[in-house]
């Protein structure tokens, strides 16, 4: 099997490459922008057969210059939800994706691609239907725009097209993401630096640290992508989250208890961690008011109807494993 992974040096892309290798797929063409050269570390130990810069790949792929492929995993995007350059966002997240979709359909190549839960924005419901799609920023809109193209293409599609609306993904190989890295990653680093972690206080009708998101481990994201690789009959747009909303307090407590556990200290409940000053709350930033999702939870109904019965890790299990991985990395 010969596949492409765009965004291959990014968090999800790199984990996908390693996941593909683990099931015996090593003819992997990696595509990315390594202007941040340090991202190469995410692909250390992986087996790839070629590498292309994103500026060269799309046109050459569309022209059929790169040979025959079985599947493209399209993870490449500008994922900074705070980016305000709409031209950049539409070029990277919409136009490049549409070019790729058209080429895949013309060449009979399957396309599994990254959408985003940001397409729901201010909605209180998270089902893959237009009435719930209310993006709050140009990033979410760029992802929705491509999803709409896919919806129009699906009835006449020659090969599999599956889009995944990723919720709050955390896990290995996200260190390059800066401010866009997961809460789990930032919380771990804050604990390592200061011996305490800070969360937002009361906001949006939620008590301190109780704003809730659907946190999903990147290992689960990879597992679902690989399930679709093995089931070419499954097409559509699907939520990819754990299906459960958990508070930021759960993430902080999981990180703190995992770190303390590595020192031989017993786990403590949230109340005790707050009482002892290990978890603190700060005022909600005014700059985020009106732009912040206080609640997300993937409706997994469509994923289950497709036949994917993958069991997702909860925060306690997933974050503990992630902290253990982080602690094994070189400083």
The residues annotated with a catalytic role in the active site are 139, 177
- Distance of alpha carbon 191 from alpha carbon 269, whole angstroms: 17
Residue 225 neighbours by CB under 8 Å, 6+ apart: 16, 19, 73, 112, 164
């Amino acid at each position: 099997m010969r596949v492409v992974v765009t965004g291959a040096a990014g968090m999800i892309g790199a984990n996908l490459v390693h996941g593909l290798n683990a099931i015996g797929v090593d003819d992997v063409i990696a595509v990315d922008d390594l202007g941040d050269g340090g991202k190469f570390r995410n692909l250390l130990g992986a087996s790839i057969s070629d590498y292309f810069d994103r500026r060269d790949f799309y046109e050459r792929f569309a022209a059929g210059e790169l040979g025959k492929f079985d599947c493209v995993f399209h993870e490449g995007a500008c994922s900074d939800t705070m980016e305000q350059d709409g031209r950049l966002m539409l070029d990277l997240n919409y136009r490049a994706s549409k070019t790729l979709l058209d080429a895949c359909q013309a060449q009979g190549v399957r396309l599994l691609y990254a959408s985003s839960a940001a397409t729901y924005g201010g909605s209180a419901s998270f089902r893959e239907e237009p009435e719930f799609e209310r993006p709050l920023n140009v990033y979410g809109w760029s992802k929705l725009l491509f999803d709409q193209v896919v919806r129009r293409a699906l009835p006449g599609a020659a090969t599999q097209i599956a889009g995944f609306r990723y919720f709050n993904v955390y896990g290995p190989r996200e260190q390059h993401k800066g401010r866009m890295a997961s809460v789990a990653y930032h919380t771990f680093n804050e604990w390592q630096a200061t011996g305490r972690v800070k969360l937002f206080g009361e906001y949006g009708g939620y008590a301190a640290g109780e704003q809730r998101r659907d946190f999903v481990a990147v290992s689960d994201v990879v597992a679902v992508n690989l399930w679709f690789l093995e089931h070419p009959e499954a097409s559509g747009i699907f939520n990819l989250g754990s299906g459960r909303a958990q508070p930021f307090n759960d993430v902080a407590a999981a990180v703190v208890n995992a770190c303390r556990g590595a020192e031989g200290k017993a786990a403590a409940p949230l109340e005790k961690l707050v009482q002892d000053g290990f978890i603190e709350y700060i005022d909600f930033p005014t700059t985020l008011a009106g732009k912040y999702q206080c609640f997300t939870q993937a409706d997994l109904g469509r994923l289950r109807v497709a036949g994917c019965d993958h069991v997702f890790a909860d925060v306690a299990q997933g974050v503990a494993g992630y902290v253990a991985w982080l602690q094994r990395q070189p400083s």
